[in-house]
Chain A
Amino acid sequence: MLATPSPSLTGAHAGDSLDLRWRERLETVLAAGAAAGASLVEVFLESTDHIGLLAEQERITNVSPAFGRGAGLRVFLGDRDGFVSTNDLSEAGLLQALDQALGMLGLSRSSLGSHAFAGLASMRDHGASKESWLQHCPGLDESTARLLKATALLDRHGDHLQARRGSYARDWQEVLVAASDGTFARDIRLHQSVGINALAADGDHRASLGRRYGSSGRPDDLRHWDAEASAIDLCSSARSMLYADYVEAGNYPVVLANRFGGVIFHEACGHLLETTQVERGTTPFADQVGETIAHEAVTAVDEGLSDGAFGSLSMDDEGMEPQRTVLIENGVLQRFISDRAGELRTGHARTGSGRRQSHNFAAASRMRNTFIAAGPHSPEQLIGSVDRGLYCKSMGGGSVGPTGQFNFAVEEGYLIEDGKLGKPVKGATLIGEAKEVMPRISMCANDLELAAGFCGSVSGSIFVTVGQPHIKVDSITVGGR
Chain B
Amino acid sequence: MTSSTNLQASDLAGQLQALATQLGVSRWDLGASCSTDTSVQVDRGEAKQLKGAQRSSITVRAWNSDGLVGITSTSDLSSAGLARALAGAGEASRYGNPDDTPGFSPLATAPLAQLEQPISEPRGILELLGTLKLAEAELLSCHPAISTVPYNGLAQRNSQRLYLNSEGACREQQLSTASLYLYALAEEAGRKPRSSGAVRLAYGAEQLDVAGCVEEAAERTIKHLDYAPITTGRYTCVFSPEAFLDLIGAFSGLFNARAVLDGVSLSQRDSLGSQLAVPFLSIHDNGLHPGNIGAASFDGEGTPVARLPLLEGGILRHFLHSEATARAFGVAPTGHAGLGAKVSVGPHWFEIGPAGSSDEQTGARGLDRFSQEGIVWIDSLSALHAGVKASQGSFSLPFDGWLIQGGEARSIEAATVAGDIRAVLKGLVGFEGEAKVTPDGVCPLVWVDGLSITGNA
Contact = CB atoms under 8 A, between A and B. Distances in A.
Contacts of A401: 195, 382, 398
Contact of B456 (A69, A402, A477): A477
Interface in B120-163: 125-126, 147-148, 150-151
B262 A398 contact: no
A163 B263 contact: yes
A62 B50 CA distance: 38
B386 interface: yes
Contacts of B194: 403
A205 to B, nearest CB: 9
Contact of A104 (B50, B340, B392, B414): B50
A250 B398 CA distance: 15
A111 interface: no
Interface string B370-409: 0000000000001101110101111011100000000000
A404 B96 CA distance: 46
Contacts of B386: 396-399, 407-409
Contact of B73 (A62, A65, A409, A428): A65
B97 interface: yes
B148 A62 contact: no
A402 B99 contact: no
A398 B383 contact: yes
Given A9-B88, A280-B150, A362-B49, A199 B340 contact: no
Given A8-B91, A249-B454, A403 B418 contact: no
B342 A54 contact: yes
B418 A481 contact: yes
A8 B398 contact: no
B249 to A, nearest CB: 17
A80 B92 contact: no
Interface stretch (B24-32, B52-60, B174-182, B297-305): B52-60
B331 interface: no
A357 interface: no
A6 to B, nearest CB: 6
A66 B387 contact: no
Contacts of A281: 147-148, 150, 185
A68 B452 contact: no
A360 interface: yes
A100 interface: yes
A84 interface: yes
B72 interface: yes
Contact of B396 (A59, A83, A428): A428
A97 B183 CA distance: 30
Given A60-B95, A477-B454, A360 B55 contact: yes
Contacts of B341: 61-64
Interface stretch (B74-82, B212-220, B431-439): B74-82
Interface residues of B, number: 75
B76 A69 contact: yes
B237 interface: no
Contact of A84 (B52, B74, B387): B52
A64 B398 CA distance: 35
Interface-central residue, A59, A63, A426, A477, by most chain B CB under 10 Å: A63
A65 B418 CA distance: 39
Given A61-B97, A282-B185, A428-B396, A81 B50 contact: yes
Contacts of B394: 426-427
A162 B263 contact: yes
Contact of B52 (A104, A144, A199, A479): A104
Given A163-B263, A407-B382, A104 B126 contact: yes
B46 interface: yes
Contacts of A397: 383, 385-386
Nearest to A207: B392
A199 B391 contact: yes
A101 B52 contact: yes
Interface string B83-118: 011011011101111011000000000000000000
Contact of A429 (B54, B75, B416): B416
Contacts of A405: 398, 414
Contact of B75 (A60, A68, A481): A68
A87 B75 contact: yes
Interface in A417-445: 426-429, 431, 433
A362 B342 CA distance: 32
B46 to A, nearest CB: 7
A100 B52 contact: yes
B71 interface: yes
B95 A407 contact: no
Contacts of B385: 397, 399
A185 interface: no
Contacts of B183: 402
A171 to B, nearest CB: 13
Nearest to A426: B394
Interface-central residue, B57, B100, B148, B342, by most chain A CB under 10 Å: B342
B396 A64 contact: no
B263 A431 contact: no
A116 interface: no
A59 B415 CA distance: 43
Interface string B62-75: 00000000111111
B47 A80 contact: yes
A385 to B, nearest CB: 23
B246 interface: no
A349 interface: no
Contacts of A208: 264, 389, 391-392
Given A69-B76, A405-B414, A477-B454, A61 B54 contact: no
A409 B387 contact: yes
B455 to A, nearest CB: 8
A66 B60 CA distance: 10
Contacts of A207: 392
A404 B386 CA distance: 17
Interface-central residue, A144, A163, A429, by most chain B CB under 10 Å: A429
A62 B387 contact: no
Nearest to A47: B76
Interface in A375-410: 396-399, 401-405, 407-409
Contacts of A87: 54-56, 75-77
A69 B75 contact: yes
B456 A251 contact: yes
A68 B54 contact: no
A410 B414 CA distance: 18
B51 interface: yes
Given A398-B386, A481-B452, A80 B74 contact: no
Nearest to B44: A281
Given A85-B54, A206-B392, A479-B454, A65 B72 contact: yes
Nearest to B389: A208
B217 to A, nearest CB: 13
A302 interface: no
Nearest to B85: A67
A306 interface: no
Interface in B261-302: 262-264
B53 A360 contact: yes
Interface string A86-122: 1110000000010011011110000000000000000
Contacts of A97: 52, 54
A282 B48 CA distance: 15
Instruction: Give 9 nearest A-B pairs by CB, closest first.
Output: A68-B75, A397-B386, A479-B416, A249-B454, A479-B454, A104-B50, A66-B73, A8-B87, A84-B52
Given A97-B52, A104-B47, A397-B383, 4 more contacts: A59-B97, A61-B97, A199-B263, A398-B383
12 contacts: A64-B92, A84-B52, A87-B77, A101-B52, A162-B263, A199-B263, A398-B383, A407-B398, A408-B386, A429-B397, A431-B416, A480-B452
Interface of B: 1, 43, 46-57, 70-77, 84-85, 87-88, 90-92, 94-97, 99-100, 125-126, 147-148, 150-151, 183, 185, 192-195, 232, 262-264, 340-342, 382-383, 385-387, 389, 391-394, 396-398, 414-416, 418-419, 452, 454, 456
